[in-house]
Amino acid sequence: MHTKECHFVLQDILYVPDLHGNLLSVGQLAKNGAQVSFLDNICTLCNRQGTVLCKVKSCGNLFIMPATTVPKSAHSINQML
């Protein structure tokens, strides 16, 4: 369940070549100003101002958010949140 297209950039991430997908750390998001909430089977990610960036419905015990890779020169999550 996506309310809209979500744009933000994560920096200082760890690359694991054999990992099938990417994992987001809720603690790291919160440390950088994001607001992350879980209610029923929905995860909501908001910026510092409380604007909803995206909502993701759970799939089993996971919340799957499609992502793409962007050049390193893009804005950081600190600038977006």
Per-residue pLDDT at 8: 66
Sign of CA dihedral 49, 37, 28, 30: positive
Domain count, the chain: 1
Residue 46 within a domain:
yes
Tell me phi and psi for residue 79, to 5 degrees: -75, -30
Parts of the chain with a pLDDT under 50: 1-3, 75-77, 79
SS3 label, residue 21: coil
Residue 2 within a domain:
no
Q: Which domain holds residue 63?
A: 34-80
Q: Is pTM, for the whole model, over 0.75?
A: no
Per-residue pLDDT at 42: 93
